[in-house]
Structure 1
Amino acid sequence: MTEKIIVIDEGTTSTRAMLFSVDGTPLGSAQREFRQHYPAPGLVEHDAAEIWTATLACTRAMIDKAGGAGAIAAIGITNQRETVVFWDRATGEPLAPAIVWQDRRTAADCARLKAEGHEPAVQAASGLLLDPYFSGSKIGWALRNWPQLAEVGDRLAVGTVESYLVHRLTGGVHVSDATNASRTLLMDINGASGWDAGLCDLLGVPMSLLPEITGCTTTVGTTMPDLLGGAIPICGMAGDQQAATIGQACLSPGQTKATFGTGAFILSASGTTRPQSDNRLLATILAQEGDVRSYALEGSVFVAGSLIKWLRDGLGLLANAGESEGLARSVDDNGGAYLVPALAGLGAPHWRPDALAALSGLSFASNKAHIARAALEAQAYQAHDLKTAFAADGVDWSELRIDGGMAANDWMAQDLADMLDLTVERPEFVESTALGAAMLAATGAGLYPDLASATKAMRGRTTRFTPALAPEKRKARLAGWQSALAKVLG
């Protein structure tokens, strides 16, 4: 039976393909890391050709595990958002480095546009703020600074990662789903709008370069038969944070999830009504089924799991990421150490691309356990800052559903419950991003009548963490964090 689903999960540091049954049971996974390139401070790039090679290898491995392309009902794709790829329409080959969402090279451009007074109009149309995090300013910068893009003329194609992968898988289809398009600063997310001519002009992006915007459960094409051993429909796509929200079954207004991956991203569903923020949160498209769009309010933290990776690879304090939990448990408290993880600037609700990370409160009594604990505690502090901003916008969380690689850390999950003073729920299968893409693909393939039915059938069991910290200790820790943060913000 063709009731298996393959999900291509394109992260910031690795490519993965996962095989699911129609009820959401994970059946297999293949993963390959790819290199991160840091050509200068604040610049982050990928080699899109390396991403494609890794994607193809992982996808083929899962097709083999399934017993061939004939066993696959659909392919779903989920991806790191805001990262932009530039490629040749004729060959599919990349023409320049992919500029990653963490990249800050356009900070001065965004600051200038903000100083000129453009941000209110940009936010009204796109739901976003003028920050180098988003795709549009990256595209405009590349078109001005990389002459090889102009040299190919109308063969130049631009898109986010899912757009690039679809083009290569199908042999030419150029589309982007509504959730990824809504993260570019180039789309009017209100009603049935699409690319916005005014936003494109403001950021220097010709609309002719951009893909067609599609729904999240739309069949956008089929894979080239000789690529994967058969023509498989691609019919489920969403940016990674929207996919995780769907995987956590947060579709009803007020339901909230937090994904702790490379960064940390908290989304609260708002139904078919676009949310408005007065506290520098983001309005974004959560999903689009057919012509019906649903929305979410979002807070984006740039550094989460990448902080632990930096402690491991950059500083050599950890042998592996999992060691952080044991170290955090080995000390009674943080020893006065606070780590503000602004390694790529600060995201919501501060939006300070110029901010630099700081580790404060050290003494000769401090050791690597205190630093590891401070790094994990920073996740709860950043989440608390966002909870305060969400509440100020009228969206107070009743509980929080967490996922992503860091969420497997029991100590961190309990610390979130303690510092947020609310119940934290974690699925036994923490890869909600991939599961959400599987739900979208299953819906697009007609295996379920709608997305709500798919989420109900495919979401598994969960574990709950309840607050257990005395209020005075919570207050004291938050005061220490606010003091450390104030030094960074100046």
Structure 2
Amino acid sequence: MKLIHSSCRVLHFVTRSKRFLAASLFTFTTQHVSLRLAWILQNLTEVQKAIEEENCCFGTIDTWLLHKLTKGSEFATDFSNASTTGLFDPYEMCWSKLITSLLSIPLSLLPPVKDTSHNFGSVDEEIFGVPIPVVALVADQQSAMFGECCFQTGDVKLTMGTGTFLDINTGNNPQQSVGGFYPLIGWKIGQEVVCLAEGNAGDTGTAIQWAQQ
């Protein structure tokens, strides 16, 4: 990672591209599913065998729910969920070939990325008695941002629960911060792309419980 950070700092100095600035600051965290997926691929022989047999797919909870609710007919995610994995390039709006190569994660495992508002098929009729259309997928903090009507550039929301999440609407430009904020896709609806900068502390709930004791 040090070599990548150094190379990207040089490229950012030469090109002034924010994409290289983001890459120079990028670090893997335990919150990213990317590291857990890499561990699974390296250590579970049954998963390795499934990949060889082309019978293995990966997705976040939205992808799993969609796949289950449609009885396996749909396999997809949206831009907001994809951007939280640590495997997605918010500047190119696609899965990162660099990061997946570093972690030896085959791109074939990853779901197609669709708009947040999209026709994702219908819930199988056997589940609820009627086929219910699935017309949106959206990630956790992004859905809170949308629900609290933070639609304008500069709007901020703070969620405090098990963790603390501070999100800033950065308009249609991903923003990386030396202070630890990382770029996410808030949502994509048609031609509109809304980006967020997020900072978080994952142990807020634990810290409060400790302070109460």
TM range (shorter): 0.7 to 0.9
Structure 1 residue matching 2:135: 3-state secondary structure: strand
Could you tell me whether the CA contact under 8 Å between 2:32 and 2:86 is conserved in 1? yes
CA distance in structure 1 between the aligned counterparts of 2:165 and 2:114, rounded to whole angstroms: 23
Residue 129 of structure 1: which of 17, 27, 31 is its match?
A: 27
Asked whether 1:299 is paired with 2:195, we answer no
Match of 1:274 in 2: 174
Could you tell me whether the CA contact under 8 Å between 2:145 and 2:157 is conserved in 1? yes
Could you tell me whether the CA contact under 8 Å between 1:122 and 1:129 is conserved in 2? no
Match of 1:44 in 2: none
Match of 2:75 in 1: 174
CA distance in structure 1 between the aligned counterparts of 2:159 and 2:135, rounded to whole angstroms: 24
Could you tell me whether the CA contact under 8 Å between 1:266 and 1:298 is conserved in 2? yes
Structure with the larger strand share:
1
CA distance in structure 2 between the aligned counterparts of 1:254 and 1:248, rounded to whole angstroms: 14
> Could you tell me which amino acid in structure 1 is paired with residue 157 of structure 2?
K
Q: Which ranges in structure 1 are unaligned for 5 or more consecutive residues?
A: 1-113, 312-338, 340-370, 376-490
Q: Deviations over 1:334-383 (max 9, x none)?
A: xxxxx6xxxxxxxxxxxxxxxxxxxxxxxxxxxxxxx32xx8xxxxxxxx
Could you tell me whether the CA contact under 8 Å between 2:4 and 2:24 is conserved in 1? no
Q: Percent identity?
A: 28
CA distance in structure 2 between the aligned counterparts of 1:234 and 1:225, rounded to whole angstroms: 13
Question: Could you say if the C-alpha distance between residues 137 and 294 of structure 1 is closer, same or farther in structure 2, counting changes exceeding 3 Å?
Answer: same
CA distance in structure 1 between the aligned counterparts of 2:70 and 2:104, rounded to whole angstroms: 29
TM-score (norm 1): 0.38
Shift of 1:307: 4.4
Match of 1:215 in 2: 115
Q: Superposed, which structure 2 residues align to 1:229-268 within 5 Å? A: 229-268=129-168
Question: Could you say if the C-alpha distance between residues 123 and 150 of structure 1 is closer, same or farther in structure 2, counting changes exceeding 3 Å?
Answer: farther
Residue 89 of structure 2: which of 188, 191, 209 is its match?
A: 188
Residue 149 of structure 1: which of 21, 44, 47 is its match?
A: 47
Match of 2:65 in 1: 165
CA distance in structure 1 between the aligned counterparts of 2:97 and 2:45, rounded to whole angstroms: 24
Could you tell me whether the CA contact under 8 Å between 1:262 and 1:302 is conserved in 2? yes
Match of 1:482 in 2: none
Could you tell me whether the CA contact under 8 Å between 2:168 and 2:198 is conserved in 1? yes
Could you tell me whether the CA contact under 8 Å between 1:261 and 1:306 is conserved in 2? no
Question: Could you say if the C-alpha distance between residues 127 and 158 of structure 1 is closer, same or farther in structure 2, counting changes exceeding 3 Å?
Answer: farther
Question: Could you say if the C-alpha distance between residues 276 and 118 of structure 1 is closer, same or farther in structure 2, counting changes exceeding 3 Å?
Answer: closer
Match of 1:429 in 2: none
Q: Which ranges in structure 2 are unaligned for 5 or more consecutive residues?
A: 9-18
Q: Deviations over 1:56-98 (max 9, x none)?
A: xxxxxxxxxxxxxxxxxxxxxxxxxxxxxxxxxxxxxxxxxxx
Shift of 1:128: 4.8
Q: Which has the larger radius of gyration?
A: 1
Q: Deviations over 1:128-178 (max 9, x none)?
A: 532232121221111001111122231111111111110000122111110
Q: Deviations over 1:187-210 (max 9, x none)?
A: 11115x311222210111100001
CA distance in structure 2 between the aligned counterparts of 1:218 and 1:194, rounded to whole angstroms: 17
> Could you tell me which amino acid in structure 1 is paired with residue 197 of structure 2?
L
Aligned positions, number: 199
Shift of 1:126: 11
Question: Could you say if the C-alpha distance between residues 134 and 266 of structure 1 is closer, same or farther in structure 2, counting changes exceeding 3 Å?
Answer: same
Structure 1 residue matching 2:66: 3-state secondary structure: helix
Match of 1:382 in 2: none
Superposition CA RMSD, Å: 2.3
> Could you tell me which amino acid in structure 2 is paired with residue 186 of structure 1?
L
Structure 1 runs of 4+ with >4 Å offset: 118-123, 125-128
CA distance in structure 2 between the aligned counterparts of 1:231 and 1:210, rounded to whole angstroms: 26
